[in-house]
Structures are given as structure tokens and as C-alpha cells.
Structure 1
């Protein structure tokens, strides 16, 4: 945009007016003034399904949750990488002969 490179003159009155306008719209943020309508509607829907008996038994459907501290299998990445490289070398040398 070539117009962005041009110098712009702003009068003191315009600057004062813009500062006044910004100040009139600024205030402290108060999160309690705002409502998450999506979450409210979702909660209402979930509660209605529970009341009607339309809800799924998540434990029956998806199984029990793993304990939070129960981790997966830990492997030695360097050993796995070395084994993979050796396997690739063996496969190449087997094809070459």
C-alpha cells in the first residue's frame, strides 16, 4: 500500500479527540460481566440428557481411565535407533550378496 509510506499530519485537536475517544471506551476488565453462553447451553443439554436417561455410561462405553501416574512403556531411544540402523544394514548387505 503506497499510502502507508506517506507522512501523515495529525493536528493537536485530532490527537486530543482520539485520546478522549479511547479513554471513554477503556475500563477495567471484569470477567464476571461476561458469560460463556456455549458452556451454559451445553451444560443445560447434558443435564437434560442425564435427566431423561439418554446419557452414556462412559466407563461401560469407553472403559475405565488409566491412573494418572500410570505411564506408558519407556524405551531407550538410542538403543532402538542403533537396532534400527543395524537391521537396515543387515537387510542391505543381505540383498547385496
Structure 2
């Protein structure tokens, strides 16, 4: 979901964002800040900007997602258990 009130400053293929990030919590309860970029952009190498995702990268990501999904068929129960545990931790943190 894209936040409508997110301040953006467009500069060619790079988008500057002021303090727009989301907090992820893994199953062990460790927190990480992840840069929040609009659709079609990814965090840049400096960590403070968003760079447009190229067509080749989009295709390779889509192919990789399909391959990974086929491989993970047997692991879904374990994944769901860890996800549920992470959601409990997120709720405890108030996220």
C-alpha cells in the first residue's frame, strides 16, 4: 500500500523520501527499519533514495518468485508457523 501523504521529490530516476520507513520484526523479535518506496521503485545504494526498478530486474524477480514458490511447497507449514509467531511479536510491540 502506498501512503498518499508521503513527501516525494522527483529527480529523474531517483526519488528522495524524508523518513519514510516501515519496521519489520522477525520470529526472534529483532526489529529492522526498511526504507519505504513507491511501487516500481526500490531503495537506492545510499539508503536514502529510491531508484526505479528496470524491466530486466522485474522479469527476473517474477521468474525467481515462481521458481521459489514451486520449491517451497513442502515448507509452507513451517513458514506459516514462523509468520504467526512474528505477528504475535508485532502485536506485542504495537506495530
More strand by share: 2
Shared fold (TM-score, shorter chain, > 0.5): no
- Which structure has greater helix proportion? 1
Q: Which TM-score applies when normalising by structure 2? A: 0.26
Work out which of the two has the higher radius of gyration on C-alpha atoms and give 1 or 2.
1
